Amino acid sequence: MKSFFESKGFRELLRIVLAVTIGLALGFIITLFVSKDPVGAYKSFLLGPISRLNRIGDWLEESLTLILLGLVICIVFGASQWYIGVEGQMVLGAMAAGCVALYVPIPPLPRILLAFLAAMIVGALWGLIPALLKAYYNANELVTSLMMNTVALKIFEYILKAFIMTPKSRSISSELIEKPFRLPTFIPNLPFLQGIREIWMKQTSVTIMVYIVIAAVIIVYYLLYKTPFGYELRTVGLNTKFAHYGGINVKRTIIMSILVSGLVAGLAGAHLTLAIHNKIISNMTSGLGFEGINIAILAGNNPLGVPIAGLLYGYLRAGSDVMERSSDVSRELVFVIQAMVLLLVTAERLLPTIQKRVADIKENSENGTNGKPDVKNVKEGDSHVA
């Protein structure tokens, strides 16, 4: 039996932790050069996000969005579709959720449910054009989805300015969604949790979206690794010709992968309006859509790794906010750290090579008798006739 410490999951985790540590160390060296108070700046960066309750809340909320976006990319990249239309799907999803929450005159519970549904459907449908173009005309989905992003953002701003903005509002935004139609806080209203709940609610607004995101992670994992659709998707992603030869409907799988990812992207959009901003505002997504790619890379494209990657990445982002506000170091430094971390993680060969080098050195010094890996022998005397 393999112990946890030899398992692939552990190695993966080790790799990420190592990458982050090295990235942070390099970041600190740079800070030494650019800041008058490097220690203070770095402290605000590293500890800022957890120094106050409201900051913890902000960190968690942004991480939830990032986790959903990471899932989106796990799905499309799993099918080897270089589809990056998440931004567009998310922004229109946010718009749909907002419109339902603001204007559909039905009671709170069905209204919230309908808002989610609308966001997800809009998100999925917005992927349809690049998906069809790819499946039937082999149009490069990277290009088409990028273009669709621009279109979506323009449509969003147009609807916002032409129909939703009221003359008296001071910013480019809708009115606030009324309290009963927002998502409730994630701490259940139980007697023994009353105290915590109140303190928490005063400071932050982390909502029941936490549970929805956890459910989404599990569902996407099961979808990709335990269902026929997931099998088709991964097989198409690994070798399209083999999938076709084996009888898988490649076109349908490509289309479905983008549509399903759109459901999740729409969900992320709903999260923006119903939980974070509580209204529709201009420039709502601000490039968040592309961060999903980084999350998925960090997570090695595995849905179960996405929450960790999302929290980690969200932490770096939150820390950079704090640092920028409370020191003379700008957030660009954090981009450098992020880039370092991603590079180190993607350099997949790095860790195995290091391990090997270390093993070599060890072996030489011990004269090569110990430290040999466990040998699980190939079946001996295996013959070809059953």
Partner 1 sequence: MKPIVEMKNIVKIYDNGVVANNGVNFTVNKGEIHALVGENGAGKSTLMKILYGIEQPTEGEIIIDGQSVSFKSSLDAIDHKIGMVHQNFMLVPSFTVAANVVLGNEPIKNGFIDKDQVLKVTKELSDQFGLFVQPDAIVDGINVGQRQRVEILKTLYRKAEILILDEPTAVLTPQETQDLFKAIRTLVQQGKTVIFITHKLREVKEISDRVTVMRHGKMIGTVDTKDVTREQMANMMVGREVFLNITKPPMKRGEKRMEIKNLSYISETGRPVLQDVSFNLYAGEILGIAGVEGNGQTELVEVLTGLKRSAGGQAFVKGKSVLDHTPREVRQQGVAHIPEDRLTNGVALKESIEENLIVDRYFSAPYKKGMMLDYRLIENKGKELIKQFGILTPNGKLPVESLSGGNMQKVIVAREFSSNPFVLIASQPTRGIDVGATEFIREELVRLRTAGCAVLLVSADLSEVMSLSDRIVTLYEGRITGVFPDAAKVGEDELGLYMLGIKHQTNEEMEKFL
Q: From the CB of 138, what's the least distance to partner 1, in Å?
A: 14
Please identify, using beta-carbon distances, which residue of 4 and 33 lies nearer to partner 1. 4
The rounded distance, in Å, linking the Cα atoms of 145 and 129 is: 9
State residue 281 phi and psi, 5-degree precision. -125, 160
Tell whether residue 239 is a contact of partner 1 (CB under 8 A). Answer: yes
Residue 245 burial by Cβ neighbours in a 10 Å radius (0-12, 13-18, 19+): exposed
Q: From the CB of 354, what's the least distance to partner 1, in Å?
A: 14
Q: Report CA 319 to chain centroid distance, whole Å.
A: 18
Which alpha helices (H) appear in the chain, and where do they start and end? Answer: 8-34, 38-47, 53-78, 86-103, 108-126, 128-137, 141-159, 194-203, 209-226, 228-238, 240-246, 250-271, 288-298, 306-326, 332-346, 350-366
- The CB-side HSE value for 204 (13 A sphere, CA atoms) comes to 21
Tell whether residue 375 is a contact of partner 1 (CB under 8 A). Answer: yes
Whole-angstrom Cα Rg for the chain: 24
Tell whether residue 228 is a contact of partner 1 (CB under 8 A). Answer: yes
Q: Which listed range, 200-208, 231-239, 285-293, 301-309, lies at the site for partner 1 (CB under 8 A)?
A: 231-239
Task: Give me the count of residues in the chain.
Answer: 386
Which residues from 334-353 bind partner 1, rule CB under 8 A?
A: 352
Tell whether residue 385 is a contact of partner 1 (CB under 8 A). Answer: yes
Tell whether residue 383 is a contact of partner 1 (CB under 8 A). Answer: yes
- Binding-residue total with partner 1 (CB under 8 A): 37
The residue from 43, 197, 244, 277 that contacts partner 1 (CB under 8 A) is 244
Angle of helix 53-78 relative to helix 209-226, nearest 10 degrees, comes to 20
Please identify, using beta-carbon distances, which residue of 162 and 375 lies nearer to partner 1. 375
Binding mask 246-265 for partner 1 (x = CB under 8 A): xxxx----------------
Tell whether residue 373 is a contact of partner 1 (CB under 8 A). Answer: yes
Tell whether residue 379 is a contact of partner 1 (CB under 8 A). Answer: yes
Binding mask 74-113 for partner 1 (x = CB under 8 A): ----------------------------------------
- CB-CB contact of 130 with 148 (8 Å): yes
Q: Which residues bind partner 1 (CB under 8 A)?
A: 222, 226-228, 230-231, 234-235, 238-239, 241-249, 352, 356, 368, 372-386
